Structure 1
Amino acid sequence: MGRRLGQHFLARKSILERIALAACNEHAPVVIEIGPGKGALTESLLSLAKKVVAIEVDPYLVHYLRQKFREPIDLGRFVLVDGDVLKTDLSAWGRAVVAGNLPYYITSPILEKTFAMGQAWERSVFMVQAEVAARLAASPGSRAFGYLTVQAQLYSRPEILFTVPRTAFRPPPKVDSAVIRLDPRDAGSDLGIVDRAAFLRFAAACFRQKRKTLRNNLAPVYGKQRVDSLEETRLRAEQLSLADLARLYHKIES
């Protein structure tokens, strides 16, 4: 996405190279880049991957990228998709790494799209706001642990690789960023969760009002008598691990 849509462009080549190396540190025939902007990260990705598929929604930047990467486009090493990533089938290019600088307001929907790739998803390396990275990788009991944590850790193992200071961007944003790697994980099977969408709806209800207890959050959905009979519901959702939440889900749905 371009600056007109709220993006700040990363200007430090050394950081761009570190992100590309994290995305392509193993055999990476295809990398899908979300929101390439003016192609700064794209250049580093093209130096390591066999093919880069870039999805850009800003018409001005699409035109700019077509001119800038004319040669790799002609060689078939660079595919430019003019469109909205949320309306794009990310599994269309087979097994791939997904990378990019994610705007805060669509982080969760993009994660959903990535996880929906199934076996086509190799891993992801995203740059996000530092606060968002902390939420994705949070541990139970911390204030950062919430619905986004559960969503991410149900499908992946998040690892914060390094932070990126706001001074590395042009123009500088108001907050620092972090680069996070997400490796596929099938926690749902390990925890006996067959319907992941239903479990995530349950998790959303658990975290509906974070400062309230599970009893208060779940009673309107499952009924006061049923919820009050479960000892765990006297706690707040952030005090339970993913495994604890899965056990509570099985109890309350049985």
Structure 2
Amino acid sequence: MARPTRTSKVLSQNFLADRRTAERFARLAVPDGRPASLLLEVGAGKGALTEPLARRCLELLAYEIDPRLVTGLRTRFDRSPRVRVVAGDFLAARPPRVPFSVAGNVPFSRTADIVDWCLRAPALTDATLLTQLEYARKRTGDYGRWTLLTIRTWPRYEWRLAGRVGRHHFRPAPRVDAGIIRIERRPAPLLDAAAYRDWARLAELGFSGVGGSLHASLRRAHPGRRVDAAFRAARLDAGVLVGEVPPERWLRLHEALTR
């Protein structure tokens, strides 16, 4: 039988092994003075994040898919009334119907699926995730470029790179550094439901790559003069690459093309 301390390559396990980083992460996930009523932890592992997170919320559901680790977690937090260890795959969980937060050291290989789960949960208020640094930088525009997922969800969610964690703070150390990404649901969406549907179609069209540029792609669905006027309103050059357009300029494009 495998020893509980061994890691699984299949589960993409890299355990956080730095207490200061764990405390910093917990402060980012649940800011001081704002205790979370309900927090779901993704991949509790050995409990490095569970402990500081539990001090900052009223109820914590710690999900762990590896059965070798569940017993240790339950023993460690058996006397903590705030923590309930859930054995199983976080992605198979049904999202709570009441407002809740998500936090955790995400397996790099499952990041996209976990982020998608969060974005689809109607009652999610925010998610704080330790991911591969490249993923965090791409999603938050830290490279000076933006992805379709970020643009498409921007009216409802704010994406922010909240920090970086060196690879040597994990055991075993992954090949790359990690980033802390914050996804926060806006208290009031920037667009209503009807306008958001138009926004999503505009973003999909813009990132379709048809025509060779954002300007050319948008002209497939809008008159050339309107696209030209929209680009002037957004202060964009006609040759700009789609990934170089920040969310605020997309909002100007949307406003100009739909009014």
Please say whether Structure 1 and Structure 2 have the same fold, judged by a TM-score greater than 0.5.
Answer: yes
Partner residue in 2 for 1:116:
120
- CA distance in 2 between counterparts of 1:44 and 1:37 reads 14
Count of residues paired in the alignment: 242
Identity of aligned pairs, percent? 28
1:37-90 Cα shifts (integer Å, max 9, x gaps): 122111221233222111222333334423333333xx3x22223333233222
Partner residue in 2 for 1:236:
241
Q: Give the 3 Å change call, closer, same or farther, for CA 62–199 of structure 1 in structure 2.
A: farther
Q: Give the 3 Å change call, closer, same or farther, for CA 154–88 of structure 1 in structure 2.
A: farther
1:207-234 Cα shifts (integer Å, max 9, x gaps): 3459941256568xx56xx575633575
Q: 8 Å contact 1:163–1:179 — kept in the other structure?
A: yes
- CA distance in 2 between counterparts of 1:9 and 1:227 reads 53
Q: 8 Å contact 1:152–1:158 — kept in the other structure?
A: no
Q: Give the 3 Å change call, closer, same or farther, for CA 64–205 of structure 1 in structure 2.
A: farther
Moved more, 144-153 or 94-103: 144-153
Partner residue in 2 for 1:127:
130
| Equivalent runs, 1:28-39 vs 2, <5 Å | 28-39=36-47
Partner residue in 1 for 2:11:
5
- CA distance in 1 between counterparts of 2:67 and 2:45 reads 11
Letter in 1 for 2:134: E
Please list every run of 5 or more consecutive structure 1 residues that lacks an aligned counterpart in the other structure. Answer: none
Q: 8 Å contact 1:166–1:173 — kept in the other structure?
A: yes
Q: Give the 3 Å change call, closer, same or farther, for CA 155–101 of structure 1 in structure 2.
A: farther
Please list every run of 5 or more consecutive structure 2 residues that lacks an aligned counterpart in the other structure. Answer: 1-6, 232-237
Partner residue in 2 for 1:91:
96
Does 2:107 match 1:103?
A: yes
Partner residue in 2 for 1:69:
77
Partner residue in 2 for 1:203:
203
Q: Give the 3 Å change call, closer, same or farther, for CA 190–155 of structure 1 in structure 2.
A: closer
Does 2:149 match 1:148?
A: yes
Once the two structures are TM-superposed, the CA of residue 13 in structure 1 deviates from its matched residue by 0.7
SS of the residue corresponding to residue 129 of structure 2 reads: strand
Greater helix fraction, Structure 1 or Structure 2: 1
1:80-117 Cα shifts (integer Å, max 9, x gaps): 2333323322224x222210122344333323322333
Once the two structures are TM-superposed, the CA of residue 168 in structure 1 deviates from its matched residue by 0.5
Letter in 2 for 1:30: L
